[in-house]
Amino acid sequence: MISEPIKGKNTFVISDFNENIRTIKVIYVLQYDRIVPAVTNGEKTILIE
């Protein structure tokens, strides 16, 4: 589960993860004229600014 951003900050808390999995998949999405890294939990995608 990836939490909602804290207001005014680009901070996310990643919790409720499987302890056997030690990596987080980072994907890249096209935003306007640049490619931005993002994380997804399958339900929502969060851009990493």
pLDDT in tens, 16-33: 556 666 666 777 887 778
| Confidence at residue 40, expressed as pLDDT on a 0 to 100 scale | 75
pTM of the model: 0.39
The answer to whether 49 and 27 have CB atoms below 8 angstroms apart is no
Distance CA(5)–CA(48), nearest Å, equals: 11
Question: Is the pLDDT score of 43 beyond 70?
Answer: yes
pLDDT band per the 50, 70, 90 thresholds, residue 10: low
Q: pLDDT averaged over the chain?
A: 66
The answer to whether 1 and 39 have CB atoms below 8 angstroms apart is no
First to last CA, the chain: 19
